[in-house]
A and B are shown apart, each in its own frame.
Chain A
Amino acid sequence: MAEAGRKYNFKIVLLGEGCVGKTSLVLRYVENKFNDKHVTTLQASFLNKKLNVGGKRVNLAIWDTAGQERFHALGPIYYRDSNGAILVYDITDEDSFQKVKNWVRELRRMLGQDVCLCIVGNKTDLEKDRHVPVDEAEAYAGSVNAKHYHTSAKLNRGIEELFLDLSKGMMEKSESTLGRHHSGTGGRSGVVVVDDEQQSARKSGGCCG
């Protein structure tokens, strides 16, 4: 297969406390570029997004995890095998930032350096109520080898950039780890690279090869 026909499949988990806006973040991202029929969908816990990054097709499977404290112990079930994690906090809520720190620690312990981490300060539209200093958040992100972003799901700020950067990061990571994991039937390798996508073979798609 030609390099351009390659398709990356990445799994991204969204982690963060209950009301930090994880769901609105991902809905804003996925729906804005989707047609109208998707908007009516209630289901927001698993969403797909297809991208084209530098001529390479990328499929993002975005898993929204449960944010309530009582489900915290279920985290590992969700983030297992993920290529990227988006850790969301609310810039007006110091406590949610502490939760992010806990998640980072846990993810690094369980998944090591193979996972791309993005720390996201959401709700920048409420800048005047900010309780998490920008410097502190960015310094922390740097210290754990994660990237830091500011977003506002309400105003659609910074979200596109976040997912694009994360995709690029995951692509780089998968290039470097693909060699190591190349053969693997037991246990999933870092990324699933599929030659072509299923949907292209709808009616006449398969015939042009």
Chain B
Amino acid sequence: MTADNISSLPKEYKQHKIFILEQPLDPKFKKQCSQEGKDYHKLLPSHASLTEFKEFLQSLPQCTKVLEKLDQGIQLFNSNYMILTDYLNDAVTRLTNLCEEGIKDCLHKLDHKLTSDIKFKDILTAAVESYVMGGVHQKVFRVLCQHHLEEDKHLSAKICQQVCDVTPQDLKVSPDFICPLPNAVRAMLELENLTTPLEKLTCLKSVIDNITAGITNHVAQKKTLHLAISTEEPCLTSDDLIPLLVSVIAQASMESPSSCQHLHSNISYMENFTLASTTKDRDELSYCLVTFRAAVQFIASSDFSENSRKKQNGVKKLTMAKQSMSVSDGDASSKNGISSPGHVLSSKRDSPVTISHSTTPPPTIPSGRQDRQRSRVSKVLQESSAISSPEQEGSEMKSIFGGKHSVPILVNEGRPQTQTPVQLGDFLSALQDDLCDQTFGKQA
């Protein structure tokens, strides 16, 4: 309560009695709540799919005529109207009018008691809008894709060539938040296949929710493992959310290049064709869209060529990047693990001063060159097995990852599961090869 509120109350002390009823006194209202309630209360205006909305509208017998009229309107729009990209507003206005008329007709036909429920109105609005947009989607989206053809082509080429192997580290995500986000990637893959702007927006929200959830879990896990977190109460701000979203888009494009083919068109579609004003700016959906736009613009305007060039220069760098994607914890220590053995070993011969740096004592007076070599190899192997211990943690993470993937919602369920062991295998072998190569190279 604010001070204002209190002062607006009457000054003199008066007693009031307030009754709070569990059920409405008028039996007519009671009936409405219990009977019609179950029809729509389970629908959420921002979470239902097009088919659910269609079923909902078709379940209202009073609205059959209205739907027929809507169908006519949709058909007319599809066959006779020509969308001009410079006059998108006109298309939007026409569709909005069609929706508004439909909603008005529905409300007119329906029981007053039902239509006085705000939640019902919200659902009806979203349902009619979805119905209309579902009907004209193909036509509208095709025009938008045509309009954004060049931009989209350019962007998707950039993502596939430069951004796809950019890691969250490269994007300067806070180290606390670096972890695999398979659910977010999976949600991202859905975007292209959805029809209505509302569905697509909901999809973006689920991407961001999954990022948040993934990171919340990750941080909680770190806390229980008593691993260091750089700040006491880490918060996910836009500074991290944007690069995380960029990396999710990049990973999705690796799984399926078509997922990033129409990013600009999708943004334009969601921005322009979310017609119902109630859902337009009010809730988190618009925030999600804006964050998504920010991430896409960041990709479009940033130069990642430096990154990808670095990657191509050394296989080692790439394996490290892969490792950091799969190994969430202790990445810094493993990096040191990789770089230090070679360094220490090579410097040992040249200058005795640096011996003090090595933690494991050198083998006692190696007799011949071959022996020295052997001892070094064994040491490297020791070290490499030490490195693989955080890696095991990584595989634990992956098992959660796999478990989550077996959730039946997934369309391409099998793929990530087969990919996981391959990735790990690659990584392990690459890591070992890499280390041995390095030592021998330095010695020669």
List chain A positions with a Cβ less than 8 A from chain B.
Answer: 9, 11, 18, 23, 27, 40-46, 51-55, 61, 63-68, 70-71, 73-74, 77-78, 80-81, 164, 185-186, 188, 192, 194-198, 200-201, 204, 206-209
B284 in contact (CB, < 8 A): yes
Q: Mark B200-227, 1 if CB is under 8 A from A, else 0.
A: 0000000000001001100100000000
Closest-by-CB residue of B relative to A40 is: B216
Quick one: closest A residue to B298, CB to CB? A74
**Which residues of chain B are within 8 angstroms of A185 by Cβ–Cβ distance?**
92-93, 96, 277
The answer to whether A164 touches B2, judged by C-beta atoms less than 8 angstroms apart, is yes
Determine the chain B residues whose CB is within 8 A of the CB of A44 once the complex forms: 235-237
A54 to B2, CA, bound (A): 8
Minimum CB–CB distance from B409 to chain A (whole Å) comes to: 23
Known: A9-B282, A66-B242, A204-B33. A45 touches B237 (CB 8 A): yes
Q: Which residue of A lies closest to B5 (CB)?
A: A52
Q: Is B287 an interface residue (CB 8 A)?
A: yes
Tell me, in angstroms, the Cα distance from A141 to B120 when the chains sit together. 46
Chain B nearest Cβ from A162, distance in angstroms: 13
Which of B5, B93, B238, B293 is A55 in contact with, Cβ under 8 Å?
A: B5
Residues of A within 8 A of B33 (CB): 204, 206-207
Query: Are A208 and B239 in contact (CB-based, < 8 A)?
Result: no
Residues from chain B with Cβ under 8 Å of A198 in the complex: 118-119, 122
Kindly provide the distance from the CB of B86 to the nearest chain A CB, expressed in whole angstroms. Answer: 14
Residue of A nearest to B295 (CB): A74
A201, B293: Cα distance in complex, Å? 33
| B residues lining the A interface (CB < 8 Å) | 1-2, 4-5, 8, 21-24, 29, 32-33, 89, 92-93, 96, 116-120, 122, 172, 212, 215-216, 219, 234-239, 241-242, 277-278, 280-284, 287, 290-291, 293-294, 297-298, 301-302
Contact B118 A206 (CB under 8 A): yes
Cβ-defined contact, B8 with A61, below 8 A: no
Task: Give the nearest-CB partner of A199 in chain B.
Answer: B119
Q: Are B281 and A9 in contact (CB under 8 A)?
A: yes
Q: A66-B238, A192-B280, A194-B282 are in contact. List 12 more A-B contacts (CB 8 A).
A: A44-B235, A46-B284, A53-B5, A55-B5, A66-B294, A70-B302, A77-B293, A80-B290, A186-B93, A204-B33, A207-B29, A208-B24
The answer, among B24, B93, B290, B302, for a CB contact under 8 Å with A207, is: B24
- Bound complex: CA of A198 vs CA of B215, how far in Å? 30
Residue on A with the closest CB to B275?
A: A185
Q: How far is the CA of A18 from the CA of B116 in the complex (A)?
A: 47
Q: Are B237 and A23 in contact (CB under 8 A)?
A: yes
Q: B357 to chain A: closest CB distance in Å? A: 34
Contact B212 A42 (CB under 8 A): yes
A186 with B117: in contact, given A45-B291, A74-B297, A207-B24 (CB under 8 Å)? no
With A and B bound together, what is the CA distance between A157 and B224 in angstroms? 33
15 inter-chain pairs at a CB distance below 8 angstroms, sorted by A residue, are: A9-B282, A52-B1, A55-B8, A61-B282, A65-B238, A67-B237, A67-B239, A185-B277, A186-B92, A188-B281, A194-B278, A197-B118, A201-B117, A201-B119, A206-B120
Residues of B within 8 A of A81 (CB): 281
Assess the B294–A192 pair: CB atoms within 8 A. Answer: no
The answer to whether B239 and A196 touch across the interface, beta carbons within 8 angstroms, is no
Residues in A with CB closer than 8 Å to B5 are: 52-55
Chain A residues with CB under 8 A of B1: 52
* Contact status B236-A42, CB under 8 Å: yes
B89, closest chain A residue (CB): A186
Ranked 4 nearest A-B pairs via Cβ: A44-B235, A66-B238, A201-B119, A206-B117
Given A18-B239, A27-B235, A192-B282, A54 contacting B294 (CB threshold 8 A): no
Residues of B within 8 A of A64 (CB): 237-238
Closest to B37 in A: A203
- Contact among A27, A45, A206, A207 for B241, CB-based, below 8 A: A45
> What is the bound-complex CA distance between A23 and B239, given in angstroms?
11
Give the shortest distance, in Å, between A78 (CB) and chain B (any CB).
6
Known interface pairs A11-B281, A71-B294, A204-B24; A54-B8 also in contact (CB < 8 Å): yes
Q: Which of B4, B118, B119, B238 contacts A54 (CB 8 A)?
A: B4
Q: Is the CB of A53 within 8 A of B237?
A: no
| Known A54-B4, A66-B239, A204-B33: A43·B212 in contact at CB below 8 Å | yes
Closest to B119 in A: A201
Nearest chain A CB to B92 CB, angstrom units: 7
A206 to B23, CA, bound (A): 11
Docked pose: A141 CA to B237 CA in angstroms: 27
Which chain B positions have C-beta within 8 A of A52?
1-2, 5
Q: Smallest Cβ distance from B306 to chain A, in angstroms?
A: 14
Q: Which residues of A contact B2 (CB under 8 A)?
A: 51-54, 164
Q: Which residues of A contact B236 (CB under 8 A)?
A: 42-45
- Min CB gap A207→B, angstroms: 4
